[in-house]
Amino acid sequence: MSGVAGCLQPSTDPIETLLSEVDGEPPLPIREPPSIRYIPLEPLEEDAAVIGVDTSSVKVGETDVGVICAVRGAVVWRTDGKYRYLRVGPLLFHITDEDGPRLLRRLQRRYLGVSGGAGVPYPTLLQVRFAGMLDHLLQMNVSQQTSNSIILRDGSLTVRSGDALGNALPQLLRAARDRGNVILAFTKVTRLRLLGRSITSLAAEHKPPCLLEIQGLSTSKQIKLLGRVYVARLGWEPYSFRLDVDRELPSEACIDAVRRLLHNDLIFQGYPEVLRLAHVLSTFTATEVLAIQRYVSGRYGLKVAPQPSIRRMLFGPYGTSREAS
Amino acid sequence: MRLYKKEGDTLKILSFPGEDAEKGDYLLVEDEDRSLIVQVVDVQFANVPGVLEELLRDLASQELAEGEDVDPLGVSSHVACIQDARLLVCKIRGAIKGGELTVERWLPSRFHSRVKRIRLSQLMELLEIPGDLPIELGEGKDSSNISIDAKSLDGRLNIITGKKGTGKSHLSKLLALGLVDYGATVVVLDLNGEYVNLGYTLDGRKNEYHNRIVVLTPASNFKVTLAQTSLRIIMNIMIYSLGLPGTSAREFRRIWRHLEAHGALTLEGLGEAIRVWKCNELVRDALYSRYHALANVGFFTDSEEESLDVGDVLHRVEGGGVVVVNLRNLSPLDRRIVVEYVLGKLVDLLSSWKLKAVFLFAEEAHLYFRETYWDDVVTRMRHLGIFTTFITNQPDSLSENIYRQADNIFLFNFTNQRDLDMVSRAARVDAETVKLIANELPPHYCLILGCVVRDFPIVAKIRSLDVQTMGRTRLFFEDALTPRGVRVRAS
């Protein structure tokens, strides 16, 4: 392993790791030699509403037949220098091994008007898909009810074929385009690599604010690319993000949207403030999880009981730190 | 509510805002067939993990953004509940096993024990309070009637203390009249003339106690002859009240015995005897100055008709009554002389079994008690049958010994930590209870400690009394003109 640079981080909860895998961007090969275009940015002094949408989900507990999860979404917008928000949720779902995928498909058909697979390896991880559905619904509402706005979402514009949410994404982009809105999709941690390095590290050498347009990305039958892919370094801090912008828009319109974002929102640590706030407002805290558990136990008569860990019982203090804690 | 932690005799219990438990309330921690009786002494926020970060996050996002929540399930109210979750700090007061009160202690199960509120009326029933001779004091925060047993004041040393205007004098009157109801003899050393109208209702009519209240105003309707005064009493007055030195005191004793032997114990006779007595001129001067002090009080008289026998007065209130010694308008020196006489007379009467026992109520006793009385009160006088109740708003005016020996303490609000430190020296309760509960007592609420409540501290709102208390301070603006010239009267 000599010559390897990086950092070491303790392994996290395996469930969390699985969730991030499910929630993350699909793998996308980059053709070599790739084409990278450096685009310096200046704020475009044109007033526009900047709207950020984010959702989160959390497992509240387990029942004999599945899991109970909660999802919540937040829409944050900035107009006249002020931030406002609309927070929806928490919405609770009892996802059983048997009925969970069926429930999701039914809701997707009804609310997104599309069908497709759940796209998760385990039914217990369906909570991510329920949160994704809420995310999509909120974005669709924002796209249809505003005009000439910049809509920020968390995630990429790459879709797997057969995935219901992926199938619904073109409709969302179209709805936004029809009203002059532009959807900018920010990915905090990307798996896109070039010559073995994460694409976001490419922006480190360039003067911010700037975009690096990555061209030459391969698509396949399974993976569709609905957006132009950029690396965005919007602040002086050494943070850059993958940014996807609707492929159907002309390149200049995509760049202008980012310039309008620079003019109309705060950029803190290279990340738009509305999207940061949307994330903060949608994320569940420990107290909120306790409160939801209290609601569930009061409303449905479920008892909150500690779940015995078979590993901890077997290995005691000789297990891993997670088992022994 | 759920048991969280036990440290010594302190239990910590988690509760949600809806499960209202306040300082002073009692809880029952039921664990199988036995229960711990605990009292809430403090209510704190529970240390919910991550709540600090959450509050900071809320604060930051509230400053940055405003908006609305669509919360169809109403979970936000549960969030508020969790964030406001309370930690009840409780003291173990006792236990119930097999339906009986016990002093046993154990560690109850956190998961299986049940915590519930116990009404004060239930607790009082369990403690068999008030017993045979109830004195109704008022009600608890849960509206339970709070009464104590008059017997638990019998032979006891009591303290009523609290800052000004909290209701101390009111309670002392209530206790005094409660004792009178059961035939007790009560003597009140009334510093400010607050007890003189105990025999009248608020609207000025004579009340049921009217004939059982005797008000003695020194130098007015309360005068005594020297012949009624024993040598022991007069010597105490001369030495302790008037500061007569030892040599002069010896001469005075000789003069007194001489006059007694010749049946000439009068003020005039005493003055003449001092004038002609063969003694050192300095001694004569010392005796003369004390004689004039005695004569100037106006309390001593040579007229048999004017004089009053304390024994007769106490005999008049036999079967229940209050003798109020009105010390108002007396100079500090005169007060000391009168109190010395009254206490000396009571000791004489009790020593000769002419009096069975007496309940003495002493308001701000440090203003007229001599140094040696403090120890006397808790030892000799108590054994003779003088059961004292001290009423004061200056806790440090009573010696530490009084607190340590006190059987009952009726504690009203104090905010000053030094005052609370003083009271917390009482042996019958832990300092934490005194400090945490007393500083938040509203006016007229009293923390009752000691034998009267079988060492289960109880917070009671003292009931009102239909007697003229005269304990109110005279106010300048009570009946004043408003800026527009309208005459207003304070209610």
B65 vs A288: CB contact, 8 Å cut-off? Answer: no
B79 vs A89: CB contact, 8 Å cut-off? Answer: no
CA distance A135 to A72: 9
A90 vs B75: CB contact, 8 Å cut-off? Answer: yes
Residue B491 in this model has a pLDDT that exceeds 60: no
A292 interaction partners in chain B (CB closer than 8 Å): 75, 78
Shortest Cα distance, chain A CAs vs residue B20, angstroms:
18
Strand B386-392 to strand B86-97: parallel, antiparallel, or no bridges (unpaired)?
A: unpaired
CA distance B222 to B220: 5
Q: Identify the pLDDT of residue A4.
A: 46
Q: Identify the pLDDT of residue B256.
A: 93
Q: What is the mean pLDDT of residues B328-349?
A: 90
Half-sphere exposure of A159 (CA within 13 A, CB side): 21
Task: Measure the CA dihedral B160/B165/B167/B169, to 10°.
Answer: 60
Shortest Cα distance, chain B CAs vs residue A293, angstroms:
9
Of the two residues A293 and A2, the one the predictor is more confident about is: A293
Q: How confident is the model at residue B39 (pLDDT cuts 50, 70, 90)?
A: very high
Q: Identify the pLDDT of residue A311.
A: 67
Closest residue on chain B to A89 (Cα): B71
Q: What is the DSSP string of B65-101?
A: EEEEEE-TT-HHHHHHHHHT-EEEEEEEEEEEETTEE
Q: What is the mean pLDDT of residues B149-153?
A: 92
A280 vs B78: CB contact, 8 Å cut-off? Answer: no
CA distance B246 to B236: 12
Q: How confident is the model at residue A324 (pLDDT cuts 50, 70, 90)?
A: very low
Q: Identify the pLDDT of residue A323.
A: 47
A87-96, A153-162, A306-315, B22-31: lowest mean pLDDT where?
Answer: A306-315
Tokens read off for A303: 């008892």
Number of helices (H) and strands (E) in chain B: give both, helices first. Answer: 15, 19
What angle, 0 to 180 degrees and rounded to 10, lies between the N-to-C axes of helices A273-282 and B51-64?
140
A5-14, B150-159, B427-436: lowest mean pLDDT where?
Answer: A5-14
CA distance B408 to B403: 9
Q: What is the mean pLDDT of residues A118-127?
A: 65
CA distance B162 to B414: 6
Q: Identify the pLDDT of residue B326.
A: 93
CA distance A146 to A123: 36
Number of helices (H) and strands (E) in chain A: give both, helices first. Answer: 9, 15
Q: Identify the pLDDT of residue A8.
A: 46
A295 vs B75: CB contact, 8 Å cut-off? Answer: yes
Tokens read off for A43: 């704020």
Q: What is the mean pLDDT of residues B56-82?
A: 81
Residue B226 in this model has a pLDDT that exceeds 60: yes
B78 vs A295: CB contact, 8 Å cut-off? Answer: yes
Q: Identify the pLDDT of residue A192.
A: 75
A286 vs B49: CB contact, 8 Å cut-off? Answer: yes
B75 vs A87: CB contact, 8 Å cut-off? Answer: no
CB contact burial B21-39 (16+ within 10 A = b; e otherwise):
bebbbbbbbbbeebbbbbb
Q: Identify the pLDDT of residue A9.
A: 44
Q: How confident is the model at residue A124 (pLDDT cuts 50, 70, 90)?
A: low
Residue A7 in this model has a pLDDT that exceeds 50: no
What angle, 0 to 180 degrees and rounded to 10, lies between the N-to-C axes of helices B281-297 and B246-261?
70
Q: How confident is the model at residue A308 (pLDDT cuts 50, 70, 90)?
A: low
| Amino acid making up residue B356 | K
Average predicted confidence (pLDDT) for chain A = 80
A47-61, A94-108, B292-306, B452-466: lowest mean pLDDT where?
Answer: A94-108
A83 vs B64: CB contact, 8 Å cut-off? Answer: yes
A291 vs B82: CB contact, 8 Å cut-off? Answer: yes
Of the two residues A13 and B377, the one the predictor is more confident about is: B377
Selecting from B53, B57, B65 the residue whose C-beta is nearest the C-beta of A83 gives B65
| Amino acid making up residue A104 | L
B61-70, B237-246, B379-388: lowest mean pLDDT where?
Answer: B61-70
A57-66, A306-315, B298-307: lowest mean pLDDT where?
Answer: A306-315
Shortest Cα distance, chain B CAs vs residue A292, angstroms:
6
Q: Identify the pLDDT of residue A12.
A: 45
- If residue A174 lies in a helix (H) or strand (E), which one and from where to where? helix A164-178
Longest dimension (CA), chain A: 64
Q: Count how many residues are written for chain A.
A: 325
Nearest Cα to Cα of residue A85 among A99, A100, A71, A74: A74
A86 vs B50: CB contact, 8 Å cut-off? Answer: no
Closest residue on chain B to A274 (Cα): B65
Tokens read off for B159: 């303290």
Shortest Cα distance, chain B CAs vs residue A263, angstroms:
18
Q: What is the mean pLDDT of residues B401-427?
A: 85
A91 interaction partners in chain B (CB closer than 8 Å): 72-73
| Amino acid making up residue B18 | G
Residues of A at the B interface, defined by Cβ within 8 angstroms: 76, 82-92, 273, 277, 280-281, 285-288, 290-292, 294-295, 299
A86 vs B67: CB contact, 8 Å cut-off? Answer: yes
Strand B145-149 to strand B134-139: parallel, antiparallel, or no bridges (unpaired)?
A: antiparallel
Tokens read off for B57: 């996050």
B50 interaction partners in chain A (CB closer than 8 Å): 285-287
Across the A:B interface, residue pairs with CB atoms under 8 Å apart total: 77
Residue A44 in this model has a pLDDT that exceeds 60: yes
* SS3 assignment, position B299: coil
Average predicted confidence (pLDDT) for chain B = 87
Residue B192 in this model has a pLDDT that exceeds 70: yes
Q: Identify the pLDDT of residue B448.
A: 93
A76 interaction partners in chain B (CB closer than 8 Å): 65, 67
Nearest Cα to Cα of residue B157 among B354, B461, B426, B437: B426
CA distances from A272 to A20, A52, A107, A192, B232 (A): 21, 9, 31, 21, 95
CA distance A117 to A104: 9
Residue B264 in this model has a pLDDT that exceeds 80: yes
Do A243 and A186 touch, CB atoms closer than 8 A? yes
Nearest Cα to Cα of residue B324 among B200, B170, B212: B212
A83 vs B70: CB contact, 8 Å cut-off? Answer: no
B106-122 pLDDT, tens per residue?
A: 888 888 889 999 999 98
Rounded percentage of chain B residues whose pLDDT exceeds 70: 95
Residue B259 in this model has a pLDDT that exceeds 60: yes
A284-298, B135-149, B175-189, B206-220: lowest mean pLDDT where?
Answer: A284-298
Q: What is the mean pLDDT of residues B365-394?
A: 83
Residue A216 in this model has a pLDDT that exceeds 80: no
CA distance A50 to A77: 5
Nearest Cα to Cα of residue A141 among A105, A176, A93, A95: A176
Q: What is the mean pLDDT of residues B312-334?
A: 91
Shortest Cα distance, chain B CAs vs residue A257, angstroms:
23
Q: Identify the pLDDT of residue B439.
A: 84
Residue B208 in this model has a pLDDT that exceeds 70: yes
Closest residue on chain A to B52 (Cα): A287
Q: What are residue A292's phi and psi, to 5 degrees?
A: -65, -40
Q: What is the DSSP string of B415-480?
A: --HHHHHHHTT-TTS-HHHHHHHHTTPPTTEEEEEEGGGTT--EEEEEPP-SS----SPP-SSTT-
**Torsional class of A186: left (φ above 0), alpha (ψ -120 to 50), beta (otherwise):** beta
B79 vs A291: CB contact, 8 Å cut-off? Answer: yes
CA distance B52 to A195: 44
Residue B153, classified by CB atoms within 10 Å of its CB into exposed (0-12), middle (13-18) or buried (19+), is buried
Q: Identify the pLDDT of residue A10.
A: 42
Nearest Cα to Cα of residue B27 among B137, B81, B111, B108: B108
* SS3 assignment, position B373: helix
Selecting from A83, A90, A287 the residue whose C-beta is nearest the C-beta of B50 gives A287
A21-25, A162-166, B256-260, B302-306: lowest mean pLDDT where?
Answer: A21-25
CA distance A129 to A143: 20
Nearest Cα to Cα of residue B310 among B353, B356, B259, B348: B348
Shortest Cα distance, chain B CAs vs residue A169, angstroms:
25
Residues 6+ apart with CB under 8 A from B261: none
DSSP character for A108? I
A286 vs B48: CB contact, 8 Å cut-off? Answer: yes
Selecting from A91, A281, A288 the residue whose C-beta is nearest the C-beta of B61 gives A281
Shortest Cα distance, chain A CAs vs residue B167, angstroms:
44
Do B395 and B168 touch, CB atoms closer than 8 A? no
Secondary-structure breakdown of chain A: helix, strand, coil percentages, each rounded to the nearest 5:
35, 30, 30
Interface test with A, best of B66, B79, B83, B112 (most A CBs within 10 A): B79
Closest residue on chain B to A279 (Cα): B61
Do B162 and B412 touch, CB atoms closer than 8 A? yes
CA distance A172 to A166: 10
Of the two residues B138 and A238, the one the predictor is more confident about is: B138
| Amino acid making up residue B121 | S
Q: Identify the pLDDT of residue B129.
A: 87
Q: Count how many residues are written for chain B.
A: 491
Do B115 and B109 touch, CB atoms closer than 8 A? no
Residues of B at the A interface, defined by Cβ within 8 angstroms: 48-51, 53-54, 57, 61, 64-76, 78-79, 81-83
* SS3 assignment, position A153: strand
Task: Quickly list H helices, A7-66.
Answer: 14-23
A290 vs B48: CB contact, 8 Å cut-off? Answer: yes
Shortest Cα distance, chain A CAs vs residue B68, angstroms:
5
Q: Identify the pLDDT of residue B482.
A: 54
Of the two residues A316 and B78, the one the predictor is more confident about is: B78
B48 vs A287: CB contact, 8 Å cut-off? Answer: yes
Q: What are residue B6's phi and psi, to 5 degrees?
A: -130, 125
Residue B485 in this model has a pLDDT that exceeds 80: no
